[in-house]
Amino acid sequence: MPQPPEQQAPPVQRLRIRYAKRGRLRFTSHRDFSRAFERAVFRARIPMAYSSGFNPHPRISYANAAPTGSASEAEYLEIALAQVVDPADVHAQLDEALPPGLDVLEVVVSAGGSLSDRLEASRWRIGTAVPLAEATAAVAAFLATESVPVSRMTKKGVREFDCRTPVVTFEAVLPDGAGEAGTPGSLVELDLLLRHTVPSVRPDDVLTGLKAVSGLDVGEAPRLTRLAQGPYDEETGLVGDPLEA
């Protein structure tokens, strides 16, 4: 008679981690990162808790990863541990075990609840090669439009959805050190604050909608960087820190 799989002990501690994807490592897919992270956990000898069943795996929960090709300063995950450890030690061990460009920024003890539920909005910066006046006019046209339908291939096939409703703020801004705002021909970045919805609307969806409304084309491979993601404050219009208790 086959033996039932071994049942693992429940976790005794959960840690939440903020990490960054920088430089060439922004091109790693979520699957690439998860493999790299599991190898780093093994090399760092983190006392992970494991799932039960015939194929136990370390308890790691990933939350709302950025699209492949996007840089990010605000990626989050949670790990479950079999022993109580010092978060500062885990921070140092993981940062040493991960390759440069996948950088651990913060490790804290979980405050409980769902980490994913605290990720309500993201702030993005989109690098372009577009003049300021042209970008400003295009963004104004997009914001003045009530609904902007776009299509994207998903796991369930081509899906059409509105990319305008989740946009909270959208602005053309000059990069730091770019000189005065009125300089003719100055290139800009697009600052975008997106609410997280179902289906999810990504920055590239907004760029598709921007082109449909205004005709503005920011190029085939704009530089996308997520600056923050977390709880959205309706009163201040700011994205908060999801790791705060």
Tens of pLDDT, residue by residue over 103-131, are 999 999 999 999 999 999 999 999 998 99
pLDDT at 156: 78
Residues 74 and 23 occupy one common structural domain = yes
Output the average pLDDT for the chain. 91
Contact 135, 172 (CB under 8 A): yes
* Residue 5 belongs to a domain: no
CATH number at residue 106: 3.30.70.580
**From CA 239, how far away is CA 229, in angstroms rounded?**
6
* Residue 8 belongs to a domain: no
* Residue 220 belongs to a domain: yes
Domain end call among 64, 87, 117: 117
List CB contacts of 150: < 8 A, sequence separation 6 or more.
Answer: 160, 161, 162, 163, 205, 208, 209, 212
Phi-psi region of 40 (alpha: psi -120 to 50; beta: other; left: phi over 0): alpha
Residues 157 and 55 occupy one common structural domain = no
Q: What residues make up the domain containing 218? A: 119-230
Please calculate the CA angle 220-30-189 and round it to the nearest 5 degrees. Answer: 35
CA 243 distance to own-chain centroid: 14
Residues 108 and 64 occupy one common structural domain = yes
Tens of pLDDT, residue by residue over 173-199, are 988 655 555 454 457 999 999 999 988
At which residue do the structure tokens 């950088």 appear? 103
> Which range has highest mean pLDDT (49-58, 151-160, 235-244)?
235-244
Tens of pLDDT, residue by residue over 9-57, are 789 999 999 999 999 999 999 999 999 999 999 999 999 999 887 788 8
**From CA 85, how far away is CA 32, in angstroms rounded?**
27
* Residue 235 belongs to a domain: no
